[in-house]
């Protein structure tokens, strides 16, 4: 037996009307009809979600105030750096000359056992990989403008 639209219960139409009214109210409250008129240059990036925003996102409403909530240190934003803004993988190894000097020091260490020899080879391979990754990072940082263009 086929059901046609005229044989549906009236509750279907009422639910559709209620849902449509709710969507219209949300659109009016959030001004979604005007969202297309905002130029893309006007953007505010806030990388720190607030506690209320997280509650809304997760759909929970806290009954009590949180017992611990910490803000980042004052100059945290200036200390944070993108991995693409640094041209060195391990800046603690120093610049290229210092890194080469440390690699040379590791290469001339004399080993007494096979295990020490294997560790020395592994360390020298790490230095080689670090050098390779540093050259990649240097290339990326040097050509960042070209990559951003597309």
Q: Using CA atoms, how far apart are residues 74 and 76, in angstroms rounded to an integer? A: 6
20-73 per-position pLDDT tens digit: 999 999 888 888 888 777 777 776 666 676 767 767 677 666 566 666 677 777
- The pLDDT assigned to 93 comes to 80
The reported pLDDT for the residue numbered 87 is 63
Most distant CA pair in the chain, distance: 92
| Domain housing 120 | 85-150
Q: Read off the pLDDT band of 6 (50, 70, 90).
A: confident
141 within domain boundaries? yes
Note whether residue 15 is domain-resident: yes
Q: What is the number of other CB atoms lying within 10 angstroms of the CB of residue 134?
A: 19
Overall number of domains in the chain: 2
């Amino acid at each position: 037996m086929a059901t046609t639209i005229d044989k549906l219960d009236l509750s279907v139409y009422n639910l559709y009307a209620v849902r449509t009214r709710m969507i219209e109210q949300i659109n009016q409250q959030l001004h979604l009809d005007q969202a297309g008129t905002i130029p893309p240059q006007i953007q505010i990036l806030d990388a720190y979600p607030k506690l209320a925003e997280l509650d809304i996102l997760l759909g929970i409403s806290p009954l009590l105030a949180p017992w611990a909530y910490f803000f980042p240190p004052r100059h945290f934003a200036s200390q944070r750096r993108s991995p693409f803004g640094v041209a060195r993988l391990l800046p603690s190894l120093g610049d290229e000359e210092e890194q080469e000097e440390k690699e040379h020091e590791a290469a001339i260490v004399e080993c007494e056992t096979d295990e020490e020899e294997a560790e020395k080879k592994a360390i020298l391979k790490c230095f080689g990989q670090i050098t390779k990754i540093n050259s990649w990072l240097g290339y990326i940082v040097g050509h960042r403008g070209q990559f951003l263009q597309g």
